[in-house]
Each structure stands twice: as structure tokens, then as C-alpha cells.
A = this chain, B = another copy of it.
Amino acid sequence: MSWLKILGAVIVGALLLTVGILLGHFAIPKGGNGPRAPSWVQTVGRDLNESLLQSFMDQVDSGKIRENLKALASQPHMATTKGDEELVKLLLRRWQDPQVGLDSASEDVYGAFLSFPDPQRPNSVAVGVCGSQIFSTRRSEKNVTADQTHADVVQPYAAYAPPGNPRGRLVYANQGKRSDYLELVNMGINLNGTIAITRYGVAGRADKAVNGAEFGVAGVVVYTDPADINDGRASEEETYPNSWYLPPSGVERGSYSRYFGDLLTPYYPAKGNMPGQGRALTHDGIPPIPTQPIGFEDAQTLICNLSGPVAPASWQGSLGCSYHVGPGFRTGGLFPNTSDVQVNVHNQRVIRNSSNVMGFIRGSEEPDRYVLYGNHRDSWVHGAIDPSSGTAVMLEITRVLGKMLKEGKWRPRRSIIFGSWGAEEFGLIGSTEYTEEFYSKLRERSVAYINVDISVFGERPSVLSSVSVYDNWRNHFNRISPSYGVIPNLGSLGAGSDYASFIHYLGITSKDIAYTYDRNKTSARIYPAYHTAFDTFDYADRFIDPGFTSHQAVARTVGNVLLRLADSLILPLNVSDYGEKLDELYSAAAQGDFLANLNANNLSLDPLKAAIGRFKSVAADFNQRITKLKEESPSPLQIRMVNDQIMLLERAFLNTQAFPNQYYYSHVIWASKSSDQATFPGLADAYTSALETGDWDQVQKHLTIVVHAVESAASTLEAVA
């Protein structure tokens, strides 16, 4: 055999070997070590795609947000009105769009218990006898930009305040706190049968009337003092449309109910098939007496003519006169000093169909895990800022996500549920009924709820610098964390928007996101046009966010949070951070009078200290296990296990026995409290109460509740086996 032949044979042999290797590798399924890997092996461990996230960020368009807001705020859209119904259709159209829509969207209707003024018989506050009135408050805001003349602008009223026409001497009662009325009594004023004028702030809307009624007050008037909202500016020249400040005729509308959720159907959805619970409409939740809000122009006419003692210094405001407390009018003023004031309220309570619009994107790997994101749709008038600034942001986020989805570029690991809530302004009705209807499955499957109500409410931001959202946040609102040093701070969620039932009732981790104003630059209680006929697109476009870059920043931030929650393989929530909160709440009790009084009553904080210590140690171990898990090749069920522990941590703090007198509240860390003690809410209230009543058993009970909750949270994070 020649060397050539040998070479040829070797080459042929090598070729055959190569063909064989190729055939063996590609043509024959792996069998020896088990079956060929099923297709889900490729996708089941997929993590967040950072470049997709960047692409999302790049696509968020400030111009489109502006267009959204213009469309959304083009007319008044109070809950269940024509304007609201049209926005329902707009939402459905956007979310069902074949090019940029979601997987699906639907309308979910509840029969909401609402309260409206009577268009035929306007509410008013008047001086003088019937037929010869000397003075009557404006029916509505003054026309400034033509928006105020729209036929659907609802006249100012106090929703849920009962109808009636009480008449009596006027008194000025500051903020309508219980202590304010007490102070008037201490001044020797007989409040029986009086009409109290109070300013917005500190006490809740309903509380001003509930407190007054306790002292015999017959009717309540509420106004916005320029000191509280306008940094003192009160003239037309200084206010909108010349600045972002509230014009003299502006009136804050609002729900005058202490409770959230449909008032007739607590804990059950307000649907036709639910016979209802008939929550007694007792007066502890809504005004027992006629109540009416007015503008500060009208308030000035009333307050600056009062007789009686000068009001305390802390009660004085910016109406341009010395506030007296009454009762009745001074001699030599606008009104004869015998004049009574009459509050005329003709509100009607009705049940009307209110819709949530729900949008849905199916998760690819864990469709049974929900990331929720909601914003209410209903306003009081045009609602450009409240809530349409949030809706405009949500629609831009769903547009970009919908586009990525429809183009086949993206599908989240977990399902995303979008909620456009109805009737929030009347008491978070749409979101609360939703959580009631789907309580069980939402509780079991929800990773987190993100809320954006008002998305931007600062005055025109400074020229945007290159400072990141994170740094800007940290610069303006921060705290010192023992673990991280100076970091952005988070406020506590109360019950001011649609997150309330998610966090308090279902125990779902919740976050509310907004771009707010620099509190060094203004002392305004909230943005000045809040709940008035001046909250318009023009107001937003000229004074709140020209260029809509703040809106864009919010959309990017929210989308970022949303995508990380929906797509991260391991949920991006650090359980250790709860330890810092527990420490903070513990420290407030473990010092000074609080501790001394506990000890004097044979109560020890040692079990609580031990429980928190255990929690922190267990949380640190948990994080180490996650780190280790990531280094291995974890099975999808191992990942799911730690994610379930993270998700359900919040649920471990729920205790349905803890607050028997408070609807919905069951979260031991975040429940509301009336005490000013900075510790766990139930413990704080029980302590403050015990100082008066001596009921230290209740304090003991709440210590048990807190210890049990913290121990349960630790047990949730411990190794499951």
C-alpha cells in the first residue's frame, strides 16, 4: 500500500469518524443519561433581561405622556359620570389594541354606594334670613381658563354628609380637632346649635364634623386657608393662572368618610349576587350633621367678621385679618351681629355602577404569581393631577410593554395585572371591592402591589440635572440605615390611596410612587389645585411639569420596579430590611416613660427583643442560602421555594384578631394608630389608652400579638426542612 493510499484511508477514516461524531451528537437524542431535556428546561430559569429593561426605559416618551394627560383630563370624570365612562372605553381601547395592547382587558362592575349634590338645589352657606339673604357662598369656582365652566364640573360638596339646613351662630373652630372644640368650650363658648367653620388639615375631613357634633355643633363649614396651601398668598394676582397657587374661589371637594371600601358591603364585593352586609351607616364614620366646603374668598367674608375672643395664635391663618372665634358676627362688620349662618346641604346617597378596568399580561413561567399595578381613574373635576397624571404614566408604561409583547420581544416570567380603579375618591371603592371579591386568590398569589395615584405633584422641577432618581431621592428624603448608611427613605403607607386594602387587609407588599415637591421650598399641605376645578391640563402643563420630564422619570421608575418584580428569577425584595423597621419600632418602646410604665405594670419587652433578634438572624441566614443557591444549579422548585418565602413574609404579619374595631386593618406593623407613640401601632394605642384607663391587660395582649407576628415572620424565613 503506498503512503498515498494510507493517507487516503486515514482521511476517509477520519471523515467517517467525523461524520459519525456529528451524527452521534446531533442526530440521536440523548438516552443513556435519561431522556432528552424537555423544552422548558431552557426557559424555566430565565432571569431579568437588563437590556430589555434598558430598551423599555429608552422607549418611555414624555410627549406621549403629555398627550395621554390631555386626553384624560379633557373633561370632568367623577366616578360613574359620563366622563368616567368615556375613560373606561379609552382604557379598554388602549389595552385591547392589537399592536400595543396587553393580552387581555376587561371591565369589572360594582354597585358602589356614592353621594352627590343635587344639581337642582345647590348647596350653600348663607347669612341672612330666607328671602332676604345678605350673603351666600359661590356655587362653584370662578372661571379662569374656561375649564371651570364645563357643564360637568360638580359643585363643591362634602360627599356622604347628610342633607339638612341647620342655622346658628358661627364659630371658628380651627382644624375641627376634638381638642379645638374643647378649647372653645374652655373659652366659655356654648357650642350648642352653632355652625363651626374649620380649616382643612390635621383632622380628617369627616372628623371635623364628627367631633363638632359631639359638642352640639349643628353644621360644619370647611375651607382651605391660604396659610396651609398657598404659602400665605391669597390674591388673584398671586394665584393660578399666574402661579400654581389656589385661587380664592377654589374649593377642595372630598369624601367625608373615615372608612374605605363600599360603606354598605364591608368585606364582601358590592355585586348583585352578594345580598350585602348592611354596614350600619353610623355616625362614627361619616358626618352626623350637614357639612359643606367653601373657598377662602368666602371663608374670609365669614371669619373676618366674627366677634368674640381673638383665636389663639396657632389658629391664625392668612385671610388678612385677626381671626376671632365668635360666636356670631362683630358689630360694625359686614353682617348684623344677630345674623345666623345657615348651611344648606342637599346631598343624595345613591348606588351607581362603577367600573374597574383590568388589564392582564400572562406570565410565561409562573403565571400563578401576580405583580399588580394600579391607579384610580375617577377624579373630582378634571383631575389632571389627581389622578390622571398617574393614568397618563400607566398608559405610557402599558404602551411600551404592550409593544414589546406584541412584537414577541418579551413576555414576563410572572403575570402582571393592571388595575384602573373606579370610585377611589369616594373611599377607595373599586380597589377595595376587587380585593374583597378575589381575596383568597390574591392573597395566595400576589408578589406585590404598586400604586401610582398622583404621579407628579411638585411645582415645576428645577432644570433637570444629571442627578439620578436614586441620588435625587437620597438627597431630599433619606435616613441612616445601620446596614447601608444614608439611603432614600420610605414613608409609611396609610390609607390614602388604593394600596390600603392590599397592604392592610391582604398583607401584600405594597409601594406607592410619586414625584413630590421640595418641602424646603413650600409648606403647602398638598399641591394647591387639589380636588378643585383648577386641577386641569393647563395647570399641569404650565406649572407642575412643563415638558413632562418628571412624569417620564416616574414612568421609568415604576416600569423598572414592575419589570424587576415580574422578571427577576429571585424576587428583588430584601427580607433583612424588615429587621431595621422592627428595631426602630422596638426602640421607641424600649426607652423613657414607655419602658418605665411597662415595667411598673410588670410587663417586659424581653420576649419582643428576643423575637426580633431571632428574626434578624433568620433573615441573614435566609439571604446566605439564596447566595449559595445561586452558585449551584437550583431546580425551579428550589427557586420557587425561596420566592414563596419572600412573598409570604408580609402575610406572616397579618392578625385578623388584632384590631377588632377597625375594618380591614390586620397588619401588625403597618396598621393605623391614633397614639403618637412611635412603636408598633396596636401597642402604641393600647399604651396611650392604658395611661388613661389603667387597662394594662390590653397592652399585654398587644405585646403578645407583636411577639407572635415577629416569631411567625421568622418561622416563614427559616429553612423549610
- Tell me whether A720 and B367 are in contact in the complex, defined as CB-CB below 8 angstroms, given that A18-B20, A19-B17, A635-B38 are known contacts: yes
CA of A362 to CA of B721 in the docked complex: distance in angstroms? 6
> Which residues from 25 to 81 on chain A have a C-beta closer than 8 Å to any C-beta of chain B?
25-26, 28, 30, 32-34, 36-42, 44
Q: Is the interface of A mostly helix, strand, loop or mixed?
A: helix
Q: Which 6 A-B pairs have the closest CB atoms?
A: A20-B20, A24-B24, A37-B37, A273-B607, A40-B635, A21-B24
* A20 and B9 within 8 A (CB): no
The residues of B that contact A301 with a CB separation of less than 8 Å are none
Complex partner residue of A22 from B18, B24, B635, B704, CB under 8 angstroms: B24
CA of A648 to CA of B442 in the docked complex: distance in angstroms? 12
Closest B residue by C-beta to A608: B273
* B41 and A607 within 8 A (CB): no
A656 to chain B, nearest CB (A): 4
- Tell me whether A635 and B267 are in contact in the complex, defined as CB-CB below 8 angstroms, given that A275-B607, A444-B648 are known contacts: no
The residues of B that contact A705 with a CB separation of less than 8 Å are 268
> Which residues from 1 to 20 on chain A have a C-beta closer than 8 Å to any C-beta of chain B?
9, 12-14, 16-20
A382 adjacent to chain B (CB < 8 Å): no
- Tell me whether A274 and B708 are in contact in the complex, defined as CB-CB below 8 angstroms, given that A440-B648, A720-B415 are known contacts: yes
The residues of B that contact A25 with a CB separation of less than 8 Å are 24-25, 28, 30, 32
- In the complex, the count of this chain's copies comes to 2
The residues of B that contact A12 with a CB separation of less than 8 Å are 9, 13
The residues of B that contact A368 with a CB separation of less than 8 Å are 641, 644-645, 720-721
CA of A705 to CA of B23 in the docked complex: distance in angstroms? 65
CA of A18 to CA of B645 in the docked complex: distance in angstroms? 51
The residues of B that contact A13 with a CB separation of less than 8 Å are 12-13, 16
The residues of B that contact A638 with a CB separation of less than 8 Å are 40
* B721 and A415 within 8 A (CB): yes
Q: Per-position contact with B for A710-721: 1 when CB-CB < 8 Å, else 0?
A: 011101100011
A515 adjacent to chain B (CB < 8 Å): no
Q: Per-position contact with B for A659-676: 1 when CB-CB < 8 Å, else 0?
A: 000000000000000000
CA of A687 to CA of B713 in the docked complex: distance in angstroms? 40
Binds B, one of A140-148, A246-254, A493-501, A695-703: A695-703
Q: Give the size of the chain A interface in residues (CB under 8 angstroms).
A: 88
A363 adjacent to chain B (CB < 8 Å): yes
* B367 and A641 within 8 A (CB): yes
Instruction: Beyond the given A273-B610, A440-B715, please list 8 additional residue pairs across the A-B interface where CB-CB is below 8 A.
Output: A20-B21, A20-B22, A30-B36, A274-B707, A440-B654, A440-B712, A440-B713, A444-B716
The interface of chain A, by Cβ under 8 A from chain B, is 9, 12-14, 16-26, 28, 30, 32-34, 36-42, 44, 267-269, 272-278, 360, 362-363, 365-368, 415, 437-441, 444-445, 603, 607, 610-611, 633-638, 640-641, 644-645, 648, 651-652, 654, 656-657, 697, 700-701, 703-705, 707-708, 711-713, 715-716, 720-721
* B18 and A707 within 8 A (CB): no
The residues of B that contact A440 with a CB separation of less than 8 Å are 648, 651-652, 654, 712-713, 715-716
